[in-house]
Amino acid sequence: MRSNYSVIKPKSYHTDLELIALFKQGQPQAFDRLYERHFIRLVNIAYKKTGHLEASQELAQDVFISLYKQLPSLQPATVLENYLFVALKNRILNYHRQQLAQLKKEKAFIDDMPLARENNSQLELKELEARLQARIQQLPTQCRAVFLLSRENQLSNKEVAERLNISVNTVEQHMRKALRLLRASLGNDLAVLLLWMMMKK
């Protein structure tokens, strides 16, 4: 028995569940409709979390590649928006883990360069630090407070949350926002500056 939505209708007529059913019936253009409907929204969400447009587009694209492979076995009751959001959230977390791993590699590289702490290099780093401090002062008030407590006072997220009477999740959000804004201003110098601050402690 054929379903009552076995023919692709104009874009606004089908629900996500109907488009998924049509795709399973052998109509690949149904996937194109899902892509058109949700891709830009996923990119916008990812950009708010990463501050990097190209990375955000790649993360959203990866979600849809995975969705294409999973659609044939997707449960009929699946809420597609929730599925996409969770898939994107996991990829964003992996993205931040990769960024942190890169920072650790850069720190190890600097630790292997003793001249980086000598006269000329030290002066250059101090100049970069002055730039960082100026950018920090331009951060939103709460965002700046969280960043300074975490980076300069070396407090954990939990300790920062207790100090400011906010949730740990809010602390993490402020830290991501601070790093995104600082990276936008300082680019590749940001990793060096943060490491310089840690080496001073």
- Among 16, 19, 15, residue whose Cα is nearest residue 6: 19
Instruction: Check whether 122 has a pLDDT greater than 70.
Output: no
The 10s digit of each residue's pLDDT in 93-107 is: 998 888 888 777 766
pLDDT digits (tens, 9 = 90+) for 130-167: 777 788 888 888 888 888 888 777 788 888 888 888 88
Give the DSSP letter of residue 20: H
Q: What is the mean pLDDT of the chain?
A: 79
Entry pTM: 0.52
For residues 183 and 132, state if they share a domain.
yes
Contact by Cβ (8 Å): 194, 103: yes
Asked whether the predicted pLDDT for residue 48 surpasses 70, the reply is yes
Domain with 183, as residue range(s), is: 113-200
Q: Do residues 187 and 151 share a domain? A: yes
pLDDT band at 192 (very low <50, low <70, confident <90, very high): low
Contacts 24+ apart (CB under 8 A), 136-142: 136/178, 136/182, 139/178, 139/181, 139/182, 140/177, 142/166, 142/174
- Based on the structure, what is the number of domains in the chain? 2
Residue 103 in any domain: the answer is no
How far, CA to CA in Å, does 26 sit from each of 15, 17, 71, 190?
17, 15, 12, 49
